[in-house]
Amino acid sequence: MKHIFRTAILCLIPAAFALPVTAQGTPDALQKGPTVTVHPTDTTNAPWTAEQLIPMTVHEAWVTSGKDEKTFFEMIRVLAEYSAQKRDLVLPDTHASGIRFGQLIKAAVKLDHDQLLYAVVDQAVRKVGKSTPVQAQ
């Protein structure tokens, strides 16, 4: 699963999501939020829960990330894992799947910065994810 996220980040970073530089219309709480440091090698202790990220728009999440691409990508990773778990899907750990995942998110993010980031990630997870095998009981 780590491979899909590493590949997806290569698709996402170059565009930097083309988000506006200013945080117009963003709640003060997001603008004054704490600075969060994410260590890319530490994927088990993300500083956010999915429940904290779900109500954020793409733009709010970008501002909350400190406009840092690695931090923003960590937010996407948390939401992708949450979505895959809720939908009983597995994200393939292949280079091609990572590229497709990143391209889907990149395209959707460019369309509307005010849409929920979770909606964008969930849509990509549904397109890239594979059904988990049913276990006999």
pLDDT tens digits along 91-110: 998 999 999 999 999 999 99
pLDDT at 78 over 50: yes
Q: Per the structure block, which two tokens stand in for 78?
A: 């948390």
**Position 24 in a domain:** no
Residues in Cβ contact with 132 at an 8 Å cutoff, skipping those fewer than 6 apart: 88, 89, 90
**Position 68 in a domain:** yes
**Position 31 in a domain:** no
**Position 80 in a domain:** yes
The pLDDT, as a whole number, for residue 11 is: 57
Residue with tokens 């690695």: 70
The boundaries of the domain holding residue 94 are 2-19+55-130
The pLDDT, as a whole number, for residue 39 is: 36
The pLDDT, as a whole number, for residue 48 is: 87
pTM: 0.68
Taking the CA atoms of 95, 99, 104 and 109 in sequence, report the sign of the dihedral they define. positive
Q: Per the structure block, which two tokens stand in for 26?
A: 């963003």
Q: In the predicted model, what is the mean pLDDT of residues 118-137? A: 86
Q: Confidence band (pLDDT; 50, 70, 90) for 22? A: very low
**Position 61 in a domain:** yes
Helices marked H in 19-89: 28-31, 50-53, 58-64, 69-86
pLDDT at 42 over 50: no
Number of H helices, E strands in the chain: 7, 2
Residue with tokens 């600075």: 35
